[in-house]
Amino acid sequence: MADLLQLLVAGLATGGIYALVAIGFVLLWQTSQTINFAQGEFVMLPAFFVLAAMKFGGLSFPLAMLVGLAVSAVVLGLLFKRLVVDPIIRHGVLPLVISTIALAIFFKEGVKEFYAADAQPFPAAWATTNLSLGGAVVSVQSLVIIAAAVAAVAALQYFLAGTRTGRRMQATAQNPALARVLGIPVERMILYTFLINAALVALASFLVSPIYLAKFTNGETLGLVAFVAAIVGGFNQVRGAIVGGLLLGVVDNFVAAYWSAQYRAAIPLFLLIAVILFRPQGLLGRAEERTV
């Protein structure tokens, strides 16, 4: 029983990270048809911005996190949109897919060449103590991750449905042409989604790096699993991403513990195939409807 609880909480924490990354994925796709194959690397990078700010800028950790967040917003939000997405998007989805694959290589190799090839310790922004919970040991870190993921989704839901800007963004996602006619600054709305994505990946990065350590290869599987989480949950629902993410994290841990550790990497595959075959709109998704 204690083991089950142990695995459940660990799975939820991992799943929370998947969810944060998946939401950004969904947002980008909704508003700008951008499939970001570098999404995993987007999570890897902000931790290195922080480390670099501390190492070369001599900043304190909280200050460095702010700098990391700001640099992420500029590089992974603004510059990503202006330099990579905008010039290519008119050519269609495929060139953009290729370009983000190249971007992933660029980030990975860049960090490896100019910062470090080996894993780096990353300070934690909160207490690293453990709590005992019905025989299982739960770290505060795990709870923070789960709470942060749920809070991020709730805040996003509120923002999209409850604020003027959010509703304008939804309108942009559903029908850009109509939104333009209605006088909504479509370009700015799209930029907002890129900035939100940058903030989400930075948040995910700061949450996982103390546990997972910062390394240039960290994004390799994360991006794929996050995308699968998005499909499983429902690609057109922010809510879906969190359900998909948490589900994947938990199933992964249970499979590794009770079935086969050697095949645990195949779990996303089986969930993906099952969803595509039996419920293509995802667990929470509605068929053929584009909503953020």
Partner 1 sequence: MTLGGRARIAVAFAAAALLVLAPFGLKPYGIYLLSLWAVTTIAAIGLNLTLGYAGQISLAQASFVGIGAYTAALLTTQGWPLWSAFLLATALCFVIGWVLGYPALRVQHHYLAFVTLSFATLVFLILRNEEWLTKGVYGISGIPRPTVLGWSTKNPIDFYFFCLAMLALVTAATWWLIRSPWGRAFTALRENPIRADSLGVDVRRYTLIAFAIGSALGGISGVLYAPLVQFIEPTAFALNLSLNLLLMVIVGGSGYFFGPFLGAAVSVLLPEWLRFSEGLYLILYAVFVMVLMAFCPSGLLGLAERFRKPAAARRPESAR
Partner 2 sequence: MKPWIRTALAAALAVGAATATAQQTVNMPIVIELSGAGAVSGTNFRDGAVLAIDEINARGGILGRKIVAPQSDTQSNPGVSRAQVQKAIDGNPYVILGPVFSGSVKVNMILAQQAEVPQITGAEAADITQAGNPYIFRTSFGQQMSMPKIANYIRDGLKAKTVAVLWVNNDFGKGGRDTFIKEMAARNIKVVADVSTESGQVDFAADVVKVKGANADAIFVYTNEEESARFLREARKQGVKTPLIGETTLLGQKVIELAGEAANGVRGHVGLTVDAPVAPVLAFRERFFKRYNYLPDHNGLKGYTGVYAVKHATEKIGKFDRKLLAKTMHGLTITPEQEPGILMEATWDANGDIDRISFLAEVVDGKQKVVSILPKLRK
What contacts 56, CB < 8 A, 6 or more positions away? none
262 lines the binding site for partner 2 (CB under 8 A): yes
Nearest to 203, CA basis, from 145, 245, 121, 127: 145
| Residue 275, CA distances (Å) to 231, 244, 247, 269, 271 in order | 8, 11, 13, 10, 6
Interface pick for partner 1 out of 51, 84, 248, 284 (rule CB under 8 A): 84
What contacts 41, CB < 8 A, 6 or more positions away? 103, 104, 107, 108, 219, 223
Q: How many other β-carbons are positioned within 10 Å of the β-carbon of residue 121? A: 10
Work out how close the CB of 137 gets to partner 2 at its nearest, in angstroms, rounded to a whole number: 5
102 lines the binding site for partner 2 (CB under 8 A): no
279 lines the binding site for partner 2 (CB under 8 A): no
Among residues 112 and 180, whose Cβ is nearest to partner 1? Answer: 112
What contacts 9, CB < 8 A, 6 or more positions away? 133, 136, 138, 142, 143, 146
Work out how close the CB of 185 gets to partner 1 at its nearest, in angstroms, rounded to a whole number: 24
Scan for tokens 């944060």, then name that residue: 20
- DSSP state letters, 255-287: HHHHT-STTGGGHHHHHHHHHHHH-TT-SS--T
Interface pick for partner 1 out of 23, 69, 103, 144 (rule CB under 8 A): 103
Number of residues engaging partner 2 in binding (CB under 8 A): 35
254 lines the binding site for partner 2 (CB under 8 A): yes
Is-contact 283 275, C-beta < 8 A?
Answer: yes
Residue type, 17: I
63 lines the binding site for partner 1 (CB under 8 A): no
Task: Give CA–CA dist 47/218, Å, rounded.
Answer: 11
Interface pick for partner 2 out of 66, 83, 137, 273 (rule CB under 8 A): 137
Stretch that binds partner 2, among 143-151, 236-244, 246-254, 273-281 (CB under 8 A): 246-254
99 lines the binding site for partner 1 (CB under 8 A): yes
Residues 263-292 binding partner 1 (CB under 8 A) are: 263, 265-266, 268-269, 272-273, 276-277, 280
Nearest to 232, CA basis, from 217, 212, 252: 252
Binding residues for partner 2, rule: CB under 8 A, are 3, 6-7, 10-11, 14, 109, 112, 116-119, 121, 130, 137, 139, 208, 211-213, 215, 217-218, 220-221, 249, 252-254, 256-257, 261-262, 264-265
Can you give the binding site for partner 1, defined by CB under 8 A?
Answer: 29, 35, 84, 87-88, 91-99, 101-103, 105-106, 109-110, 112-113, 224, 227-228, 231, 262-263, 265-266, 268-269, 272-273, 276-277, 280
